[in-house]
Structures are given as C-alpha cells and as structure tokens.
Amino acid sequence: MKRALIGLALLLGTSAAAHAATDGQSFDQISRGRYLAAVGDCVACHTIPGDKLYAGGRPLETPFGTLLAPNLTPDRETGIGNWSDDEFVNALQIGRGRGGGHLYPAMPYTYYSKVTRDDALAIRAYLATLEPVRNPVVSNQLPFPFSIRLSMVGWNTLFFSPGTFTPVPGKSDDWNRGAYLAEGLAHCGMCHTPKNLLGGDKTSRTLQGGVLQGWFSPNLTGDARVGIGGWSTDDIVEYLGTGHNRFAAASGPMSEVITNSTSHMTKTDLAAIATYLKDTGPSVASTATPVAADGSAMRAGQVVYISNCAACHAADGTGIPQLFPTLKGSASVQSVEPTSLIRVVLQGAQSVATDPAPTGASMPAFGWKLSDEEVADVVTYVRNTWGNAAATVSPSDVGKSRRQLSQSP
C-alpha cells in the first residue's frame, strides 16, 4: 500500500493525490479519472502548450468568434475548487455551469451528456488532485449577439438531446463500449460530423466529415471510397494508437488528438471504437467519375507531381508505408472537400511522432514555389489517378485557401 501511495503521488505530482489515495477506492477512482480525462482529450482545450496543466486560457476558434477555455484546476477562486459534484456533472451532461449559466457547445456537452455520473465524478476526482493554479479566465470573448448566453436555450432546443448512453440491444459488448466512447467522451462527431449554419450537427450525415479550422476532418463511416471501409479494425487501432498505419499518417489537429488522447488509451478500448466505426456506414455508398486523364489540368498536374511529389509518394502513388502516406485509393485524397489536401501542398505538414512510431515524417511546403493553378492541377491529378475519383480543384479554390492561411496566426 505504501508503494502505491508513493507511486500515485509521483504520478500526479501533488500532496493532495497522496492524501486522496489513503483508501483503495479513491486510488482506483483517481486513476480511472485520469484515464477518462485522456479519452476526452480535455487537456487539448484547457491547457496552453508549455503552461500549467488544465489552467485554461487557451483560445478556441469558432465560426462565431473566440472563446477561452476555463481553468479546471482546483483553485477555489478561479478554477473549479468550489464547485459541487452536481455542478460538475451538470456541466458535462446538460451544458450548465456553476450557478446554472449556459455553456457554449465548444465545450462538447452535447457529446459528454452520454457519460455516466460515475465516470464524470472520476474525472472530477482526478482534477481535484492537480496543482491549484490562480488564473482568472473570461471565457466569453464572442461579439454581440453571440455573447448572450441565453441564446443557448433556443440552440439547445434545436440541437441538443441530453441523456446518458443506453446500450443498444443486439450489439456486442465491444460495440456498445465503442459507441459509448466514440459518441461520448471521445466526441468524434465534434469534428467529423458536418455542421449547419448555426453550428449544430447535421445528424443525417453523422461522421461523414466536416471542415474545422481550415482542415477537413475525414469521413469515418464504412464508405469504401471516401471513408474507412478499406481499413481493418487492426488498421484503426494502429492509427489511433500510433498515429500511423499502412494507409495514413496523422497530421494537423489529429496529431494533437493522437498525442494527448488516443495514444494513451488501452488497445481494448481502441478495438471497441474500431468495432463501432466499422459498423457505421452511409445508407448509399459514394460514387464519382474520374476526370479524363487527357484533360489539360490532368496533364499539367502529372508534370507537377513527377517533379515534386513522386520521390516520396512514388510514381504509382503508393508512398512508403508508415512513412509517406499512400495517395492511391486514399479516402482523404478523394474526400468531398479537398481543403486538407490543398493546405498540405501549400503549407506542408508534420506527421505525429509517438513512442511506437517515433519517426514523424514531414512534407515540405510548396506554396512558395507553385502557383494557384499549379497547385490546383496537381491536387486534381492525385484525386483522379491510380483509380481515384473526385471533383476537380480550381485555382480560385487554392487562392481562397492561400488567403486564409496567410491570415491565420
């Protein structure tokens, strides 16, 4: 027992942790809460990189303005040290903060609502062991009229149905565990489900991909062409656990998800999520007709590709497994939105590095070298070669992305 107490104190780094671990049940609850906080990727929003853990203040960009993530440390004045258990659970499950104030859905309560009270309180128990940090944060930085929190009453009526997860009869235990995680704490649909003009989920297109902060979050359904229908459960587990598999390498916002969250999850839970995702598919598989290979854009794009891309991704688009992603048959390459592909050509990208896959290969930027027309041509080419099929990309599409990137911090 003494060794367990010392180990917990070292793990959590506070005297409060050692005090809380004076009985086995508290130790188990704190340990589980730490794991669940990682599943929920709470640190991504509530910690400024290089700053105190969970001290808040990180800007969250939304289509309606900027919010600052609040302080989740147990500081009694500027954190959640004075919150009751019910207030904490209400924040997760119904989107109401201390005193009953409405939260904005940048805090994914629309997903966390599915989390059980026991799991929510385990997360709170873990947060209570953190170092208290005095850091007053004024979360609401939105312009009028979005700054009026009362507007969330109407928004919630339209787009939010509270309620904890209910296992689906007829589905396996693994499937239900995966659904509980993916639809709840992991809040996959927050990024991978497209949003309407008011920021609500387009539920008819659940997990079919959405644009977020200048990236396109890929389709996670079982669609064979633009989703993960060609991935096995092992492929999904490998990708979520390491950031790489034989098809893809995580970059952009997904790198942070891998680093902070999924790489810390057990293989059992990753396999459960994979089981759930493999059973999620669109009602009608997507189809597309490839652009004619003898078109002017395709011919020009081939020249650009051979000169700039083939050395890493190979002349046949197969890339190098675990290092340079394949373009042939890639769902991301053929996605309905070419946003991410245009971005990485213009700006380059750094793939994630994890302990199991420590080589995070990078792609250089070509925006300095290629014109809007050349970028459009090469993106159109890779989206319609080697059996790929997707809509063409225009120079104006590239110009729009270039302007947005020049204005981003």
pLDDT in tens, 34-59: 999 999 999 999 999 889 999 988 98
pLDDT of residue 66: 86
- In this structure, CATH architecture of domain 296-407: Orthogonal Bundle (1.10)
Q: What's the mean per-residue pLDDT of the chain?
A: 89
Q: Once rounded to an integer, what is the mean pLDDT over residues 11-20?
A: 42
Looking up tokens 């873990």 gives 126
Residue 361's pLDDT band, with cuts at 50, 70 and 90, is confident
Q: Which residues pair with 68 in a beta bridge?
A: 59
Tell me how far CA of residue 200 lies from CA of 54, 205, 232, in angstroms. 27, 12, 31
- The pLDDT tens digits for 127-174 are 999 999 999 887 787 788 777 888 889 999 999 999 999 999 999 999
* Separation CA 64–CA 66 (nearest Å): 7
Question: Binning pLDDT at 50, 70 and 90, where does residue 3 land?
Answer: very low
Topology of domain 173-190+209-278 in CATH is Cytochrome Bc1 Complex; Chain D, domain 2 (1.10.760)
Q: How far is CA 347 from the centre of its chain?
A: 20
Kindly tell me if the per-residue pLDDT of 286 is higher than 80: no
Which runs of E-coded beta strand occur in 157-237? 210-212, 215-217
Q: Phi first, then psi: what are they for 127, rounded to 5°?
A: -60, -30
Give residue 21's pLDDT band: very low, low, confident or very high (50, 70, 90): very low
What Å distances lie between residue 154 and 145, 149, 150, 200, 209, CA to CA?
13, 10, 8, 12, 26
pLDDT at position 283 is 59
C-alpha dihedral, 144 to 339 to 240 to 163, nearest 10°: 40
Shortest CA distance to 364 belongs to which of 379, 374, 350?
350
pLDDT of residue 118: 97
Does position 2 have pLDDT exceeding 50, yes or no? no
